[in-house]
Amino acid sequence: MGIGSEPGRSRLLRLAYREHRLLEGLLRIGSDVLHQSLLLALPGVQLVPPRFRSAGHWLELLRHGLLDGVLLSSFCLNTPLRPRQRLGWDGMVVLPLAQLTLQLVATTAQTRRVLLPARTALPLLHQAIAAEGLAVEQQPAACQEQRAWLKRARDRQLALPLCPPLVGVDWLETHGLMPLRQQPSLIEQLWLVLPQTAADTPAARQCLRRLRARLVYAGKYAETA
């Protein structure tokens, strides 16, 4: 695609906006509803609506300048990483944040049906749920806000995957959610993925430090809850 074409000019303009944001100490970071709480009220972060996307889709948004960073879950990958294999893509810097354990919760501990995003967005999460013999229902792609997930799960008595330390015990109690009796092993690796042009900036370094601090605090909270 030529630089003189309309798409080429649009991409250059978006990359120029990114450079301006970085100079202002800002990062536009994408995430899904499971991890959006890590970004709330985080200094230097411009929030975008949470969406579940595949790793490939997130990378395209980064390459085209629509986002400056992404919180990426290992469940977004098409295949599991091999032991000691490092994640990497041309032009991107992949920074490990933490390992998190997801839990299935619902209004009843006996349900065996789970509400998930499209398989194309979180293929390894679908695989882990199916391996336990649990049935899966897919949330419509247009309904990705937290309230939409909660409503559908309640109306249909479906379980939801979430990371308890990121939402807190009070949030679970407020919404009447409890852990399922049957819990598959759902351990994810979470990364911050940045374009190389953004990774070595003060905004990116501060964001990484603050995200890791929030995750450490969440882990300590989980131990005492």
Q: Write the pLDDT tens digit of every residue in 198-215.
A: 999 999 999 999 999 999
Question: What's the pLDDT band for 2 if we cut at 50, 70, 90?
Answer: very low
Same domain, 11 and 95: yes
Judge whether 214 lies within some domain.
yes
Same domain, 65 and 133: no
Q: Write the pLDDT tens digit of every residue in 26-79.
A: 999 999 999 999 999 999 999 999 999 999 999 999 999 999 999 999 999 999
User: Mean per-residue pLDDT for 174-188?
Assistant: 94
Structural domain span for residue 140:
103-179
Judge whether 11 lies within some domain.
yes
User: How does the average pLDDT of the chain come out, rounded?
Assistant: 91
CA dist 41 and 52 (Å) reads 21
**pLDDT value at residue 150:** 93
Same domain, 91 and 162: no
CATH number at residue 165: 3.40.190
CATH number at residue 50: 3.40.190.10
The values of phi and psi at residue 2, to 5°, are -75, 150
Handedness of CA 61, 52, 50, 165 (dihedral sign): negative
Handedness of CA 85, 88, 89, 90 (dihedral sign): negative
Q: What's the whole-model pTM score?
A: 0.90
Same domain, 12 and 95: yes
Phi-psi region of 211 (alpha: psi -120 to 50; beta: other; left: phi over 0): alpha
**pLDDT value at residue 33:** 94
Question: What's the pLDDT band for 224 if we cut at 50, 70, 90?
Answer: very low
Same domain, 150 and 72: no
**pLDDT value at residue 17:** 76
**pLDDT value at residue 5:** 59
pLDDT at 95 over 90: yes
pLDDT at 219 over 70: yes
For residue 188, give Cα distances in angstroms to 81, 116, 171.
Answer: 11, 15, 22
Same domain, 22 and 94: yes
Among candidate residues 52, 59, 7, the one with its CA nearest the CA of residue 33: 52
**pLDDT value at residue 89:** 96
Judge whether 138 lies within some domain.
yes
Judge whether 150 lies within some domain.
yes
- Structural domain count of the chain: 2
Judge whether 111 lies within some domain.
yes
Judge whether 1 lies within some domain.
no
Share of the chain above pLDDT 90, in %: 79
Same domain, 26 and 66: yes
Same domain, 149 and 196: no
Same domain, 137 and 74: no
Same domain, 85 and 136: no
DSSP state of 75: G
User: Mean per-residue pLDDT for 113-119?
Assistant: 96
Among candidate residues 201, 219, 215, the one with its CA nearest the CA of residue 44: 201
Question: What's the pLDDT band for 7 if we cut at 50, 70, 90?
Answer: low
pLDDT: is 8 or 174 the higher one?
174
Same domain, 157 and 201: no
Same domain, 33 and 67: yes
